[in-house]
């Protein structure tokens, strides 16, 4: 057992022991290291003022990703490199190209948000730079600026260039030296098992433990609800849960795989599902958050369950040595109640690939395009044969206390001609399936209307060739 967290702060090794495992990376930087360039705005992952960059070994290369320091716990830095805004300046005091570009483009006024923008742009700079406007928008969607406006910041992104200004081999060697092969176990109750067997044993021994994946929900329990979590069992170091396996029949997503890691495989198989993931939270959130966490939290407005249910995804749950496989739709029992025993955890999400006569569509409706919580999400999976609907799996989020299939609507569609008359009956049937609530995101009437209109959208998109378009980068492309 290792009792200290080892990581690189910039290029300086750190070995930290005796701190509260609930301490966030943001508080560590500001209060323990005196590095106050990283700001706290919202303390809930929304504003980006706290953005830092993590360096990590992936397939032998050093990869960088922007994350929100305000909701990450310090122990999750084990074996990684933490880069804050102070680390960008060169030894001779000159600004980093990203910072220089912001200065030259007049991209900062009050400056409070600026360090976060610098770090998001720095991650982009390290990741090949600003290839097109879509890439820039995606990189900046998790950063709010209320005074400069985005024009000058986007202009900075366009002229900052790209590069790899670190010593990759040296950093990788340092990171490797922090790994003593042992699982991290800290005073104050934090365990980071490395194997699924060890995780299963830990959770049997501590069934009351908080399971921590990306922390994009759990982090807020500490920063917003002021809870103290003990013990914490972190799943992000478990090799089996970090695995993404793509075969001809299915995509197996380990419960600790992040959205960013799973995005490409899912988008290639199901472009609309890919688009929902692209709009889920922000780049910083997707770099941390997992589909496993999105399922396990049982939220009625989680974005990944409706498409997964429409696609007939299955879950592998594990408790001790016992595994069981269930349909994802059976996992959600009622509001706040999931089919998960104490000590049990989500191990794998299995997403089947389907035959080409099935048509899958999925749409998220929220007030803002990026970084917003869903009002209604509709996922539609139809098997169309000779102008008829041979089979239908339709699931909505935001319409009930759990993600829920529209069984009355499915019954109307199944076996019927795919026509305007059927569409009209199917739209009516949605009122039997759902009695949504109204809240600050949307009224009940709006939700039902939108749910119906999304069905019409599917009809239009699947009835005439190339009526659908999708944004790829900054281009609209036909999508049949």
Ligand X SMILES: Cc1cc2nc3c(=O)[nH]c(=O)nc-3n(C[C@H](O)[C@H](O)[C@H](O)COP(=O)(O)OP(=O)(O)OC[C@H]3O[C@@H](n4cnc5c(N)ncnc54)[C@H](O)[C@@H]3O)c2cc1C
> HSE (CB half, 13 Å, CA atoms) of 176?
12
CB of 41 to ligand X, least distance (A): 11
What gap in Å lies between CA 105 and CA 102, rounded to an integer? 5
Residue 148 binds which of ligand X, ligand FES, none (CB < 5-8 A, kind-dependent): ligand FES
Residue 48 binds which of ligand FES, ligand X, none (CB < 5-8 A, kind-dependent): ligand FES
- Among positions 157-186, residues that touch ligand FES (CB under 6 A) are none
Task: Kindly state whether residue 282 participates in binding ligand FES, applying the rule CB under 6 A.
Answer: no
Task: Kindly state whether residue 145 participates in binding ligand FES, applying the rule CB under 6 A.
Answer: yes
CB of 235 to ligand X, least distance (A): 5
Residue nearest to ligand X (CB): 293
Q: What end-to-end distance do the CA atoms of the chain give, in Å?
A: 54
List 84, 130, 196, 288, residue binding ligand X (CB under 6 A):
288
What gap in Å lies between CA 291 and CA 455, rounded to an integer? 25
CB of 147 to ligand X, least distance (A): 21
Task: Kindly state whether residue 276 participates in binding ligand X, applying the rule CB under 6 A.
Answer: no
Residue 73 binds which of ligand FES, ligand X, none (CB < 5-8 A, kind-dependent): none
What gap in Å lies between CA 76 and CA 91, rounded to an integer? 28
Q: How buried is 385 (Cβ within 10 angstroms: 0-12 exposed, 13-18 middle, 19+ buried)?
A: exposed
Give SS3 for 89. Answer: coil
List 54, 62, 255, 412, residue binding ligand X (CB under 6 A):
255
- Among positions 57-96, residues that touch ligand FES (CB under 6 A) are 68, 70
Sign of the CA dihedral 103, 108, 111, 113? negative
Stretch 32-61: interaction string toward ligand FES, x if CB under 6 A: --------xxxx-xxxxxx-----------
Pairing of strands 12-16, 5-9: antiparallel
Sign of the CA dihedral 68, 74, 79, 83? positive
Q: In the structure, how many helices (H) and strands (E) does the chain have?
A: 17, 22
In the complex with ligand FES, the residue whose CB is nearer, 47 or 175, is 47
Task: Kindly state whether residue 257 participates in binding ligand FES, applying the rule CB under 6 A.
Answer: no
In the complex with ligand FES, the residue whose CB is nearer, 153 or 468, is 153
CB atoms within 10 A of CB 244: 15
- Establish whether the linkage from the previous residue to 231 is cis, with ω within 30° of 0: yes
Stretch 289-328: interaction string toward ligand X, x if CB under 6 A: xx-xxx-xx----xx-------------------------
CB of 220 to ligand FES, least distance (A): 10
> Which tokens in the block code for residue 201?
């044993």
What gap in Å lies between CA 301 and CA 376, rounded to an integer? 8
In the complex with ligand X, the residue whose CB is nearer, 260 or 297, is 297
Pairing of strands 190-192, 244-246: unpaired
In the complex with ligand FES, the residue whose CB is nearer, 101 or 196, is 101
Question: Residue 389 gets which letter from DSSP?
Answer: E
Task: Kindly state whether residue 285 participates in binding ligand FES, applying the rule CB under 6 A.
Answer: no
Stretch 334-373: interaction string toward ligand X, x if CB under 6 A: -----------xx--------------------------x
Which of 78, 57, 56 shows the shortest CA–CA distance to 66? 56
Contact residues for 25 (Cβ-Cβ < 8 A; gap 6+): 52, 69, 70, 72, 73, 74, 76, 77, 82
Residue 214 binds which of ligand X, ligand FES, none (CB < 5-8 A, kind-dependent): ligand X
What gap in Å lies between CA 59 and CA 56, rounded to an integer? 10
Stretch 225-254: interaction string toward ligand X, x if CB under 6 A: ----------x-------------------
Stretch 184-213: interaction string toward ligand X, x if CB under 6 A: --------------------------xxxx
CB atoms within 10 A of CB 288: 26
Q: Which residues pair with 232 in a beta bridge?
A: 190, 210
Task: Kindly state whether residue 112 participates in binding ligand FES, applying the rule CB under 6 A.
Answer: yes
Cα 425 from chain centroid? 36
Binding residues for ligand X, per CB under 6 A? Answer: 44-46, 210-218, 235, 255, 280-281, 285, 288-290, 292-294, 296-297, 302-303, 345-346, 373
Binding residues for ligand FES, per CB under 6 A? Answer: 40-43, 45-50, 68, 70, 108-114, 145-148
């Amino acid at each position: 057992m290792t009792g200290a967290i080892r990581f690189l702060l910039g290029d300086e090794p750190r070995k930290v022991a005796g701190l509260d495992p609930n301490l966030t990376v943001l508080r560590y930087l500001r209060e323990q290291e005196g590095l106050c360039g990283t700001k706290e705005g919202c303390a809930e992952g929304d504003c980006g003022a706290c953005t830092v960059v993590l360096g990590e070994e992936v397939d032998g290369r050093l990869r960088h990703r922007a994350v929100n320091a305000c909701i990450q716990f310090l122990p999750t830095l084990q074996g990684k490199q933490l880069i804050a805004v102070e680390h960008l300046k060169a030894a001779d005091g000159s600004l980093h190209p990203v910072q220089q570009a912001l200065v030259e483009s007049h991209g900062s006024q009050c400056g409070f948000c600026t360090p976060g923008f610098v770090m998001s742009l720095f991650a982009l700079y390290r990741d090949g730079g600003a290839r097109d406007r879509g890439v820039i928008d995606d990189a900046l969607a998790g950063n709010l600026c209320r005074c400069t406006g985005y024009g000058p910041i986007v202009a900075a992104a366009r002229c900052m260039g790209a590069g790899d200004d670190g010593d990759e081999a040296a950093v990788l060697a340092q990171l490797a030296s922090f790994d003593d092969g042992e699982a991290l176990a800290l005073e104050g109750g934090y365990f980071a098992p490395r194997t699924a067997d060890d995780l299963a044993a830990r959770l049997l021994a501590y069934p009351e433990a908080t399971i921590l994946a990306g922390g994009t929900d759990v982090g807020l329990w500490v920063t917003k609800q002021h809870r103290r979590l003990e013990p914490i069992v972190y799943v992000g170091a478990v090799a089996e849960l970090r695995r993404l396996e793509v075969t001809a029949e299915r995509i197996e997503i380990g419960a600790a795989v992040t959205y960013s890691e799973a995005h490409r495989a899912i988008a290639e198989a199901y472009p609309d599902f890919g688009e929902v993931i692209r709009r889920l939270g922000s780049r910083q959130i997707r770099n941390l958050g997992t589909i496993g966490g999105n399922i396990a939290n049982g939220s009625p407005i989680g974005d990944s369950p409706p498409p997964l249910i429409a696609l007939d995804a299955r879950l592998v749950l594990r408790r001790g040595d016992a595994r069981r496989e269930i349909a994802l739709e059976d996992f959600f029992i009622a509001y706040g109640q999931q089919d998960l025993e104490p000590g049990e955890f989500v191990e794998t999400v299995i997403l089947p690939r389907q035959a080409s006569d099935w048509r899958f569509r999925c749409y998220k409706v929220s007030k803002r395009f990026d970084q917003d919580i869903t009002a209604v999400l509709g996922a539609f999976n139809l098997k169309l044969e000779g102008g008829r609907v041979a089979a239908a799996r339709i699931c909505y989020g935001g319409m009930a206390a759990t993600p829920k299939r529209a069984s009355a609507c499915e019954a109307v569609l199944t076996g019927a001609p795919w026509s305007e008359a059927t569409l009209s009956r199917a739209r009516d049937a949605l009122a039997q399936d759902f009695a949504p609530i109204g809240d600050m995101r949307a009224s009940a009437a709006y939700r039902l209307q939108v749910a119906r209109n999304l069905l019409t959208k599917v009809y239009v998109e699947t009835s005439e060739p190339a009526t659908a378009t999708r944004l790829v980068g900054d281009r609209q492309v036909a999508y049949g």
